[in-house]
Amino acid sequence: MRLSHQYGMFASVANLRSVEPTEVADDLDSLPDYDADAEAEAGLEGASATTTVDLPRSSERLIAELAVDAALPAPVRRALLEGRPNVILVLVPGGAWCARVFEAIAALAPGWNVASIIASARPRPGTSEIARVSASTPTVAVTADIAWLSPVVVAAADVVITVRAPAPDLVAEAVKRWCGARRCVRVTAADIAGLDLPDLAAGLRRGASQRACINRLQRASAARIRPAEPIDAPDLTTLVGYGEAHTWAVQTVHAIRRVAAGAASAQTLESAILHGPPGTGKTTLARAIAAAAGVPYLQTSIAQLFSSSSGNLDGVIKAFDQYCDRLLLARDTLNSGTAIGFIDELDALPDRATLSPRGADWWLPVITSVLMRVEALRREGVVLLAATNHLERIDSALRRPGRFDRSLFIGLPDEAARACIFRQHLGGDLPDADDELLARLSHGATGAQIAGFVRGARARAGERPVTVDDLLAEVAPPDQRDPAALRAIALHEAGHAVVALALGLAVSQVSIVASTGAEGVTTISFADALPSRTALDRRVIALLAGRATDVVLGAGATAGAASDLSEATRTIAASHAALGLAGPLVVRSNTAAIQSLVRDDPDLAARVDGELHRLMEQAEAIVRARRDSIRAVAEALLSRRALTGSEAEAIAAAHKPRIRVRARSSL
């Protein structure tokens, strides 16, 4: 039999008029002359010229014929036999199957010119298939990924057939026929795990017994299925402070295990962007998911794509392509069903909507390539995780289903979570330590910072056992600030807390422990998802309450309220120019860019300033009425350095507000 064939993305018409139906007997004497694997033909994959070769019958062809026989329904067989001009789209387990499956199907149409479209790799632009799908004889399109085929072919398909990876029973039948035996020897899924068509075919040797063939397959499988490198990550079940992200992570691990067990398709797995402040454990969560799922894990970052390549346009694109290829190779080598890829600093890939014309010329090809490869990986069933501190900077096309399905916020751990994190890192050390006190004093700390506190305490202890004093010296070292300044800070934070509580807002913690960029901090929850103008005014009054306390109860206004004023300015300006809550309904800016609008618009700045002065007067009035509560909370802060919201509320409630009632003149 001679076959004219052009391998690569697309093949030419195969002349199979001389093909005779193949009959395979069970006894050795009548065994067909299957040659050893056609290695020379494998080298033709990707060639651009039409080559005429003698195609020997091979073990690859035998396995492909059995797989096709199991997949092809009777109506399709009849259509092929009659030479009907149907377009048959065939999905195969991998690129190595494409040519062999086409040959097996074409052999079912003896006497007809069967047009072939073989897409065994990513598509090459500029190739037309219209002539093939318009042929008056059968057309068979074979691919491992439907995205590799032209939309013309996909739309023209009359039927879609899926040829699945061989089950153990099919491999046992192939071994029996190859060896000319009468009965099958049992083959298990473990015997052939991780093996592609060339691997299976290489295990079948001329003159070998069935047992020898199966032993060879077992050795090949063992070579393919190497245990994954252990991932240095904490136990997912012990992680705390992750909220909804932890729930999703546990569900994802269960889903991956179902995929590994064959109970679900890898295409059902979701991908996610993990976002939140630095140091909140986004990378830790990604590694914990991979460790719990037992699948390959590969990490990269946008910066690494530059540093590991030439940094030029083509170098960065190739670096990401290589990363994606390594993910697929790791999945296939370990036969894990999926793999997890983690992309750190995703916001370093700019949003196309924010690019300047000059920047767009360079970045658009990179962004487009990343979008295409991410979507292709998702079709392959790879789970992608990404981390960013700035979700708003991520291109919207990356955040749609089919690329990154979810965006999961990982915030600063609350007090209960901080106590658990301390205990996790302390392990068996300091079993009697007051974890709640440590959590209270570490307000605003991330999980990474808490781990640093514990490391620092152990380093401080040196050869001796670590003590609570070692840990407190790291978490809340002795305060070296001037006593008068410290009292002013305590009054300022107490003012925020008491006024917020008076306005009905939730306070979770008040602290005068110095941290990076802050002398003290009060955490107030603004829970309104759709705030009214009144709700926004309450927020601003609470923000201004610290400065109001400085003015009413302290030595006067200081620069310590600058960040409060900045946030209050943004809130009021948004009411006027972005939210339609202060007169004009025209939206002039989004909330992220509102500060620039205030700077450039004197009229808007004047209106915002007037609102701030009005609300400042209200804040000062509440401070005067609640001055006893504020002073009591400040004294508690000076003594204990940090209070929970409930503790601050209890102290404030013990002091009645002073309400001034104006005397009325009698008539």
Over 80: is that where the pLDDT of 20 sits? no
**Residues listed for the chain:** 667
Please name the helix (run of DSSP H) or strand (run of DSSP E) that holds residue 598, with its range, or none. helix 594-600
Set out the domains of the chain in order of their start, with CATH numbers. Answer: 2-164 (no CATH), 172-224 (no CATH), 236-409 (3.40.50.300), 415-475 (1.10.8.60), 483-653 (1.20.58.760)
- Give Cα separations from 565 to 523, 571, 588 (angstroms): 16, 10, 22
Confirm if 468 and 437 have CB atoms less than 8 A apart. no
Angle, CA of 23, 24 and 27, to the nearest 5°: 135
Q: Which residue has the higher pLDDT, 494 or 322?
A: 494
Over 50: is that where the pLDDT of 663 sits? no
pLDDT at 290: 94
pLDDT at 225: 63
Amino acid letter at 109?
Answer: A
- Give Cα separations from 539 to 249, 569, 582 (angstroms): 34, 11, 15
Amino acid letter at 310?
Answer: S
pLDDT at 135: 63
Average pLDDT, the chain: 83
pLDDT at 3: 33
Burial class (CB in 10 A: 0-12, 13-18, 19+), 195: buried
Please name the helix (run of DSSP H) or strand (run of DSSP E) that holds residue 304, with its range, or none. helix 302-307
Instruction: Report residue 274 CA to chain centroid gap.
Output: 7
Give CA–CA dist 101/114, Å, rounded. 13
- Give Cα separations from 391 to 8, 409, 507 (angstroms): 41, 9, 26
Write out pLDDT tens, residues 54-111: 333 689 999 999 999 999 999 999 999 988 888 899 999 888 899 999 999 999 988 8
| Sequence-ordered list of residues with C-beta below 8 angstroms from that of 391, at least 6 positions apart, any chain | 273, 275, 347, 407, 409
Query: Residue 485 — pLDDT band, cuts 50, 70, 90?
Result: very high
Between 46-55, 111-120, 477-486, 504-513, the lowest mean confidence (pLDDT) is in 46-55
Write out pLDDT tens, residues 623-632: 999 999 999 9
Sheet holding 87-91, edge to edge: 13-15, 113-119, 139-143, 87-91, 159-162
The tokens for 343 are: 């992309």
Strand segments (E) across 48-153: 51-54, 87-91, 113-119, 139-143
Angle, CA of 341, 342 and 344, to the nearest 5°: 155
Over 60: is that where the pLDDT of 351 sits? yes
Burial class (CB in 10 A: 0-12, 13-18, 19+), 232: exposed
Confirm if 161 and 188 have CB atoms less than 8 A apart. no
The percent of residues above 70 in pLDDT, for the chain, comes to 86
- Beta strands 159-162 and 642-644, pairing class: unpaired
- The reply to whether the predicted model has a pTM over 0.75 is no
The tokens for 561 are: 């309220």
Q: Where does residue 462 fall: left (phi above 0), alpha (psi -120 to 50 degrees), or beta otherwise?
A: left
Write out pLDDT tens, residues 408-421: 999 989 888 999 99
Q: Of 18, 11, 16, give the one whose Cα is nearest residue 116.
A: 11
3-state DSSP assignment of residue 396 = helix
Confirm if 377 and 327 have CB atoms less than 8 A apart. yes
Neighbours of 2 (CB within 10 A): 11
Strand segments (E) across 519-640: 521-525
Write out pLDDT tens, residues 306-346: 988 887 877 888 889 889 988 887 887 777 889 999 999 99
Q: Please, how many CA atoms are within 13 Å of residue 69, restricted to the half-sphere of its CB?
A: 10
- Give Cα separations from 547 to 68, 550, 615, 637 (angstroms): 78, 5, 12, 18
pLDDT at 460: 94
3-state DSSP assignment of residue 429 = coil
Which alpha helices (DSSP H) does 504-578 contain, by range?
533-552, 562-577
Neighbours of 235 (CB within 10 A): 10
The tokens for 257 are: 């295990």
3-state DSSP assignment of residue 119 = strand
Amino acid letter at 354?
Answer: T
Question: Average pLDDT, stretch 423-436?
Answer: 88
Query: Residue 128 — pLDDT band, cuts 50, 70, 90?
Result: low
Over 70: is that where the pLDDT of 129 sits? no
Query: Residue 456 — pLDDT band, cuts 50, 70, 90?
Result: very high
